[in-house]
Structure formats: structure tokens, C-alpha cells
Amino acid sequence: MFNHNQKIKINYFYFFLIAIFLSGCVGSSSIGVFGSGVSVAIDPRTLGTQIDDSIMQKSISTRLALIDKKYILSVSTKVLDGRIYLSGKVNEPEEKLKITKIAWETDGARSVKNNIRIKGNFSFKNSAKDVLITTQLRAAFILNKEISAANFNLDTINQKIYIFGIAKDKNEVDEIMKESKQIAYVKDVIPSIILVSELSRQKN
């Protein structure tokens, strides 16, 4: 039989083990679902949504790996309720465009937030022009009642505009291209725009 002091030590030991176990469970849940730094003990998504998101995430990762294995490490993908979040770094703008298309073409995609950065060194002069172009075009989108500005991400790299997003119809695409080509210093406009009618899952 254990004496009183031994029983206290054993009880503390069991308490310590339980605390570690519970901490590990909560930590893995919050990091695995929402990313580090967010404290969420219970995933609010339904089981069906979690499964759909997991399938979508694996599908995107697999397709990227088939294109180039370097994307396994350089590009991170997160899917929450059909919303796709991309982050990481690539060497060329065309790579970002390609990855964005893959995300939009994923069955069940509701939106794509692309935070992928382009590597490379740009001169201050070019960077200033790029910022000016993006700012002017974003303002033009907001002022144009035919364009839902919030549905589009804009990137300007070396005076080339890259437009990512979803348009309600062909008329909106035409308006986007018209506004883009009116901006000073623009060398090229490269759109990656999907129509609502082309989405695999549409909002009811």
C-alpha cells in the first residue's frame, strides 16, 4: 500500500499526464483547422463541410505537386467552408496566375484569397509605378457601378496588371478590361477571371 505522501505524488503525476493530453488535443485542433495563433477548441464546421474542405485541400495540393514538387514546400493551402486561402512565395507572376486558376477550378470552391508573394528584386521606380497603377485601378473599380470591386484581387508587377477573381457576367469582365487599359503606364493586363455560371458550386 502507498503512504499519504506517495498517494499525493501519484495524484499529481496523473494530473500532469491528463493536462498534457488535453493541451495536446486542443492545440492540434486549433492549429490543424485554423492555423497557429487562433485558440479554437471545437471546429464549428459540420462534419460534411470538414470532409469537403479536406478533399478540396488535398486535391489542390496534389495538383500543385504534379505541376512541380517545389510547391509542396513553397505554397501553403487552407480551405475553410469552401473558401480557399493561398500563401507562400513563387519565382514568377505566371506561377501565381497558374496556382490561382487551379484553386478556382477546384470543385466546390466558393472564393480564393491569394496571398502568394513574387520573389525578385524590383527597382524603386518600378515599384512606385506598380503601386500607383494598383491604387488607380482599385479606385476605378470602386467607382464603376458595373464592377463588384470586392470580388477581385489586383497585383501589378513590372507594370503588368494581374487580376484574380469572379465576375457575375461577361459585361463585368468587359468593364474590368476597359478600366484596366485606361490606366497610365500599364504594359499588359493579364486576367484570371471566372464567371459565376462556370462555378461548380453557386450561392443560392
Q: What angle do CA 145, 151, 154 make, to 5 degrees?
A: 100
Average pLDDT, the chain: 76
Same-domain status, 76 and 97: yes
In this prediction the pTM is 0.51
Domain with residue 146: its CATH number is 3.30.1340
Same-domain status, 66 and 98: yes
**What is the sign of the dihedral through the CA atoms of 117, 155, 83 and 165?**
negative
Of 120, 153, 182, the last residue of a domain is: 120
pLDDT confidence of residue 24 = 41
Q: What is the mean pLDDT of residues 144-149?
A: 93
Does residue 16 register a pLDDT over 60? no
Does residue 127 register a pLDDT over 90? no
Of 120, 153, 176, the last residue of a domain is: 120
Same-domain status, 106 and 157: no
**Residue 168, Cβ neighbours under 10 Å: how many?**
14
Same-domain status, 138 and 94: no
Same-domain status, 133 and 183: yes
pLDDT confidence of residue 184 = 92
Domain total in the chain = 3
By 3-state DSSP, what share of the chain in percent is helix, strand and coil, each rounded to 5? 50, 20, 25
Half-sphere exposure of 176 (CA within 13 A, CB side): 29
Beta partners for residue 68, in sequence order: none
The string of pLDDT tens digits covering residues 78-107 is: 887 888 888 888 888 788 878 988 898 888
Which of 6-10, 18-22, 92-96 tops mean pLDDT?
92-96
Does residue 176 register a pLDDT over 70? yes
Same-domain status, 21 and 72: no
Domain with residue 115: its CATH number is 3.30.1340.30
CA distance 129 to 161: 11
pLDDT confidence of residue 195 = 82
Same-domain status, 76 and 23: no
- Report residue 120's pLDDT band, with 50, 70 and 90 as the boundaries: low
Same-domain status, 111 and 150: no
Same-domain status, 19 and 71: no
The string of pLDDT tens digits covering residues 134-146 is: 999 999 999 999 9
Secondary structure class of 113 (helix, strand, coil): strand
The string of pLDDT tens digits covering residues 44-63 is: 667 888 888 899 999 999 99
Which residue segment(s) compose the domain that 97 sits in? 44-120
